[in-house]
Amino acid sequence: MAVTLYDLTTMSQDQLDDVFRRGPMGEIPDGDAQGTAIVAPGTDLEVPVLIFTRWLAWRGKVFYRPQGYLLNKVGPLGLHLVKAWVYVAPSWFDGQPAIILDYSKTSLIAHKVRDEIREVSPGTFLGIVYYGTLKTINFVLQFNT
């Protein structure tokens, strides 16, 4: 069953966790993805934070699969900043394979950040953000397929 951006942005945290848990890893993506942050799902904060992050702070990621890294699209202009190494490893969430976006050796400002993604529908990846070992928020990456 295909999961849409709308589906993911209207789910509870337990539902998002279940979708991630059941999602296949997929292949490491390549190219430009639009990003949507999911913060405080199911609360009054979710929509304002989604709007703020989407238009002012974070717009997505650009993956360079052959080189094994990505750059985040930041700010209203979507500047390509904040690099992460991309590789496959066990998820901290459930121990199953996931695509890891590792900022520990590439970014001074995000060195404590680790993202994990899985492809939950063709071209749509659900992500988890860790700060240190603390699971914080979710996000969605959408690639043109």
DSSP structural state of residue 28: P
pLDDT digits (tens, 9 = 90+) for 115-128: 999 999 999 999 99
* Cβ(64)–Cβ(80) below 8 Å: no
The separation between the first and the last C-alpha atoms of the chain, rounded to the nearest angstrom, is 17
Q: Total domain count for the chain?
A: 1
pLDDT digits (tens, 9 = 90+) for 36-74: 989 866 666 656 566 656 656 889 999 999 999 999 999
Domain hosting 57: range is 5-143
| pLDDT mean over 89-112 | 96
Supply the pLDDT for residue 45. Answer: 63
